[in-house]
Copies of this chain bind each other. A is one copy, B any other.
Amino acid sequence: MYCVGIDLGGTNIAAGLVDLDGNIIYKDSVPTQRQRQYQEIIKDMAMLAKEVIEKSNVPMEKVKSIGVGSPGTPDCKNGIIVYNNNLNFRNVPIREEMQKYLDLPVYVDNDANCAALAESAAGAAKGTKTSVTITLGTGIGSGIIIDGKVYSGFNFAGGEIGHTVIVVDGEQCTCGRKGCWEAYASATALIRQTKRAAVENPESAINKLVDGDLDKIDAKTAFDAAKLGDETGEAVVKQYIKYIAEGVINVINIFMPEVLVIGGGVCKEGDYLLNPLKEMVKAGVYSKEEIPQTQIKTAQLGNDAGIVGAAMLGA
């Protein structure tokens, strides 16, 4: 059997036919054109689903379900996206609309949860029952997998680990609170921290790397400076990894997942990021060596996680 996974993004709709082991048989994408009415967007999603089934040469009776991963707050029970600002969705009945075109069960969840489910089913946490996936991007996305399924609370709005405060009255977060983990450990936060350090330390290699143009600073700049031996760059990187570690330890002390998966562009730094992170986590977790410990791994599925995870919703 197979499932269709649809990754609805602000820019593109990506869809794939996926087998029950999480392998993509065929995938394609179309532009979202997000300013449109939701009916049009969902019609395109349904057409794309039909296309990937046909191009896979898999008979329709072997397709079990369609899963949709969307940004926003889902009502998974009713297949609705309750709200999402980016797509201007308010109580959008994705399941109902999809089923106008396709006679298949339709599952809906948010994109961070789908990414976590993908890593659990076919990625870095494959073979585990319990895992947490953290994506360090513009914000911090997070998804919790318990007994192989997404956990998001009684109203499907849980799993917002990025919006847990690690510094009471700290940095302003986009969510309205102050001091959220996202405001310290997202890529956006790293860029802010790097800019501040560049201003305070004009002699730093950070400034040279961007030719003095602070707007050119990205999530890689501090790491690049650190690797050149620049003290300011090293300090920014060390403090940033500490912020990641504080949140990771919190997650481990709460969930004790078999695997904690970290994704997002910053993971391209590889062991340069992971080794000190693992050291800090080992030193900080509540339960010490006497018992088995959570493994920290980097995400494996990259851009395909959305498709694979959405497909796995109905697998």
B-contacting residues of A (Cβ < 8 Å)?
A: 73, 75, 82-83, 128-130, 144, 146, 151-161, 163-168, 170, 175-177, 184, 242-243, 246, 249-250, 252-258, 284, 286-287, 290-294
Contact = CB atoms under 8 A, between A and B. Distances in A.
B129 A160 contact: no
Contacts of A257: 153-154
Given A158-B256, A168-B167, A177 B284 contact: yes
Contact of A163 (B153, B253, B292): B253
B286 A246 contact: no
Given A177-B286, A254-B254, 11 more contacts: A73-B287, A128-B154, A144-B254, A146-B146, A154-B258, A155-B293, A158-B255, A160-B254, A160-B286, A165-B246, A175-B286
A152 B291 contact: no
A154 B253 contact: no
Given A153-B130, A153-B257, A176-B284, A246 B168 contact: yes
A130 B159 contact: no
Assembly of this chain: how many copies? 2
Most buried by B among A170, A177, A254, A255: A254
A260 to B, nearest CB: 11
Contacts of A253: 158, 160-161, 163-164
List of 3 A-B pairs having minimum Cβ-Cβ separation, nearest first: A153-B256, A158-B256, A157-B287
Contacts of A177: 249, 284, 286
A287 B168 contact: no
A184 B169 CA distance: 14
B256 A154 contact: yes
Nearest to A175: B286
Nearest to A128: B154
A166 B163 contact: no
A250 B168 CA distance: 11
Given A157-B256, A293-B155, A168 B166 contact: yes
Contacts of A292: 154-155
A144 B153 CA distance: 12
A254 B144 CA distance: 9
Contacts of A284: 176-177
Most buried by B among A144, A146, A166: A166
10 contacts: A130-B153, A157-B286, A158-B255, A158-B256, A159-B254, A161-B254, A163-B253, A163-B286, A164-B164, A165-B166
Most buried by B among A82, A83, A154, A156: A154
